[in-house]
Structure 1
Amino acid sequence: MIRLFKHYVPYAVLLLGAIDFLLLIGAAEAGWSLRLWQLGGSVDPDVNRLPNLLAFAATLQVAMVGVGVYSVAALQSLRFAIARLLVAVALGILALSLIFFLFPPVSFWRSSLFYAMWLGLFALVVARILLKETLGGERLKRRVLVLGVGARAARIEALAASRGAAFQVVGFVGMNDGASAVKESVNRDDIQSLPDHLLALNASEVVLALEERRNALPLNDLLRIKTTGVSIHDFSSFLERETGRVDLDSLNPSWLIFSDGFSAGRRLSSAAKRGFDILVSSLLLVIFGPVILVTAAIVKLESRGPAFYRQRRVGLYGQLFDVIKLRSMREDAEIGGKAVWAQKDDPRVTRVGRFIRKTRIDELPQAWSVLKGEMSFVGPRPERPQFVADLEARLPYYAERHVVKPGITGWAQINYPYGASIEDAREKLEFDLYYAKNYSPFLDVLILLQTARVVLWPEGAGAR
């Protein structure tokens, strides 16, 4: 993997993304040239067309990121990839129509755009057919040697065997740290030189997965490995990189304190984030104001109770605020005001409520909370005080998710399906901690783009 703005991206995704961009540039040029040839004009390359070509390629690739064309499932399944490519190209063409209207100098002739669209789609599919074995094969995977043979090593072994893993384990070395929990391993006492063993296995990195590190760190071995140029990672950092979440089972305060993350140098990024929130929330309220009002009238007609409801939530640094949403449940959904976890296919949801949840229309009034600065578009979902009090008592480090402003969408929402239990809250907390620790504008953009995938292919109802 390569780290971009504190977020890790697999080599296979980077390679495929670069190839796709070049193919889209070529398809745009071919579509333009084909139309010029039909009109009898010169088809020589012209640098003045470069802005048009870049607009075409960039817009379609943004759409591809948004609908999950570079997801693990798309890399593993050609059928899945083609289905997502069709949706991405359709959305990309719609977006290009708006861009061409707002910025005419980068526009295409309609016939050129038609040719470029089909040529691009054909090229993208062919590329995936030709690269299928390479993208899913061992060639692009990092070769990892694990020091340790206990439960932690077994977790790495299972992760390496999972679908879409970006690494392969080339060996386990027992460091006399307990009974072995992996299939095959070599004891450190049977290895004359650990650096030579690394070279023989062609390992590119080492993961320290000891069950007990106190007075057990093999300092001499680690020093020799480091001087050979092979990178060394501790267990928690390795899992964070490979899974996009902070592993609570192996987490300890010292790792949070000394590891990279929670950077104080966020003032410029935070200012840009706030500016984006103000601009987009204002536009949303203006553009979708009629939709909100019409939906509110329909909600009011379908069932008793107010069209909107306010609910107290926990925000930045534990401060309380009221979130506003369109009501999607019956008025008596919570008797006596007692907080109740929402469920998948919750019977309390009305017919209109089911539709506005799937389309996320019920979330639109939250733009007002974003405009006021109580929320952001991207961040951990704000929870109710009753739930927060319970979760803080039962889940370690739950309070740390409140070091960033809550959001309408977030890293947990795009990576974890619907769930309403303590275990689900624990899973989501691991993603929320990853976001809080590694926040950057790049990660925000990635989350916003991939929210389109969640809207188009809902994996569960949102929290009430």
Structure 2
Amino acid sequence: MIERRRQIQVALHLFGDLVATGLTLPLAYWFRFRLEIVEITKGVPDWEHYLILAPKALVIWPTVFYFQGLYQRRRIRSRADEVIRLVTSVMFSTALLVAFASFYRPSDFTYSRIFLLFFGVCNLVLVVFLRWIISSLLGRIRRSGRNLRSVLVVGAGELGRKVVDGLQAHREYGFKVVGYLDDDPGLKDKGFHGVPVLGLTANLEEVVQFQRVDQVILALPNSAHHRLNQLVQTAGQLLVDVKVVPDLLHFFVATGGVEELDGIPMINLTQIPLQGRHQVVKRLFDIIGAAALLLVTAPLYPWVAWRIKRIDGGPAFFSQVRTGLDGRSFKLYKFRTMRITAENDRTWTRTGDDRVTPIGAFLRRTNFDELPQLYNVLKGDMSLVGPRPEQPEFVDRFRARYPEYNTRHRVRAGLTGWAQVNGLRGDTSIRQRVIHDIYYIQNWSFTLDLKILMRTLWQVGK
């Protein structure tokens, strides 16, 4: 049953992509040769010349999409990640189509380059639109209580409850949590967020069969690691999906691979993805991105400065020492959002804080107060994406409480970060921020940076 449901979801996306690609050909032809958005200088070619591209496109597109992971059978999807994959897939597919159109064409005919450009743009719009429709329809069906998958969460601690919170917050994913299993005797017959504790981990097989569970999620703390292998083996024999949620505060992935010393393998546990050429590429992206954003936002600066100075006549900008890459201190710049009398008050601001000025509240809400940090990015103190920098006194305090905290300083601090786009701003859990920052550092990719920037723009625009 689970496999059939997955196949239906994949088939719907494949069908939508084929329909979108099939419609793109006449649409691009219409835009190029009927609307004449760009002047036609060589006459209107026969439709049949372009129609022969259809079979090639209908093979290229699903093939590229498949290898880009766009037909993976999973319900939990990141929309930002999917859009990035779609953009890169459509660009690559269009490039392949251009190659075919250039080398395999009638000797007396040349395809319009503007048509091929329209083809790529129209296809991206149609593919994204049809996938959005399919996802919305599936989400509506699941929110109505149909097409659900039963989930059992092993571990009723903080990690397990966070998993349940996430599943309940996204009903469009179609998961119904039937209960927890946990070996803590104090949790027996209790419940959290309306989900009961059904028994001990030893009852796994019995509960899976009785509750007709489709998926088991193992969300145990690092201290319970010794039980994990046995639970994975047991669950794997029950013909259900098995997923493991690592306790990320204590979970590090050896991304550096294996080095060898005279035949002795050595695993590099401290190497991170953002090293070598990746650092160079990211730095170039930071410089170009920060310069472009400065040019776009520069007209706002005089107006913002004037509004700030109107409040109490104080300076428009505020600077503060923060800790960045390799633990080095640097001076961070912001638009001043607090009254000048609160300058020496180092406590964190909270909702409704009377130290924040009216224009300051607006700047904080829209994140416009961070715009001067584009200068920090150009200087090399910061990056567009990375862990948010803290004041040195807070760094010392958090480092004493969380030994992993210093890992944050292995990359440049950022204007925005993985923790921030997941709602961890201001007066929120430091532990959760550390978890998200370490996840970003250990799993860095250019795609992840783009995903974070897209989510940041979405949140600012809301």
Distance change >3 Å, CA 339–CA 27, structure 1 → 2: farther
Percent pairwise identity: 28
Matched, 1:439 2:439: no
8 Å CA contact retained: 2:215, 2:241: yes
Which residue does 2:274 correspond to in 1? 266
Which residue does 2:227 correspond to in 1? 217
Q: TM-score, normalised by structure 1?
A: 0.61
- Can you list the C-alpha shifts for 1:53-75, whole angstroms capped at 9, x where unaligned? x9xxx9xxxxxxxxxxx879xxx
Q: Secondary structure at the match of 2:347?
A: coil
Q: TM-score, normalised by structure 2?
A: 0.61
Distance change >3 Å, CA 376–CA 11, structure 1 → 2: farther
Alignment of 1:110-259 (within 5 A): 126-127=133-134, 130-133=137-140, 146=153, 160-164=167-171, 180=188, 181=190, 183=196, 185=198, 203=214, 207=218, 209=220, 213=224, 217=227, 222-223=232-233, 234-236=244-246, 246=248, 251-252=249-250, 255-256=251-252
Q: Secondary structure at the match of 1:369?
A: helix
8 Å CA contact retained: 2:255, 2:272: no
Which amino acid in structure 2 is aligned with residue 213 of structure 1? Answer: A
Most deviating of 306-315 and 163-172? 163-172
Which residue does 2:27 correspond to in 1? 31
In the aligned structure 2, how far is the partner of 1:166 from the partner of 1:346? Answer: 40
Distance change >3 Å, CA 428–CA 104, structure 1 → 2: farther
Matched, 1:348 2:358: no
Unmatched 5+ residue regions in structure 2? 1-5, 37-43, 66-76, 80-112, 257-268
Distance change >3 Å, CA 444–CA 219, structure 1 → 2: closer
Q: Aligned-residue CA RMSD in angstroms?
A: 5.2
RCO higher in 1 or 2 (8 Å CA, sep ≥ 6)?
1
Unmatched 5+ residue regions in structure 1? 1-9, 59-69, 73-102, 238-245, 458-464
8 Å CA contact retained: 2:219, 2:246: no
In the aligned structure 1, how far is the partner of 2:203 from the partner of 2:398? Answer: 47
Which residue does 2:409 correspond to in 1? 402
In the aligned structure 2, how far is the partner of 1:150 from the partner of 1:359? Answer: 35
Distance change >3 Å, CA 201–CA 275, structure 1 → 2: same
Which residue does 1:314 correspond to in 2? 323
Q: Secondary structure at the match of 2:333?
A: strand
Question: For 1:391, which of 398, 411, 414 is the aligned residue?
Answer: 398
Per-residue deviation at 1:438? 2.0
Distance change >3 Å, CA 30–CA 333, structure 1 → 2: farther
8 Å CA contact retained: 2:318, 2:335: yes
- Can you list the C-alpha shifts for 1:203-241, whole angstroms capped at 9, x where unaligned? 565626489638x6386665566689977655535xxxx
Please tell me whether Structure 1 or Structure 2 has the larger radius of gyration of its CA atoms: 2
Which amino acid in structure 2 is aligned with residue 391 of structure 1? Answer: F
Matched, 1:324 2:322: no
Q: Secondary structure at the match of 1:312?
A: strand
Most deviating of 348-357 and 307-316? 348-357
8 Å CA contact retained: 1:323, 1:366: yes
- Can you list the C-alpha shifts for 1:419-460, whole angstroms capped at 9, x where unaligned? 42xx44344333223222322211111001111112112xxx
In the aligned structure 1, how far is the partner of 2:255 from the partner of 2:146? Answer: 30
Per-residue deviation at 1:407? 0.4
Number of aligned residues: 378
In the aligned structure 2, how far is the partner of 1:158 from the partner of 1:285? Answer: 39
- Can you list the C-alpha shifts for 1:319-370, whole angstroms capped at 9, x where unaligned? 2110122323332232xx2313123354334444444444444322212211
Distance change >3 Å, CA 292–CA 167, structure 1 → 2: same
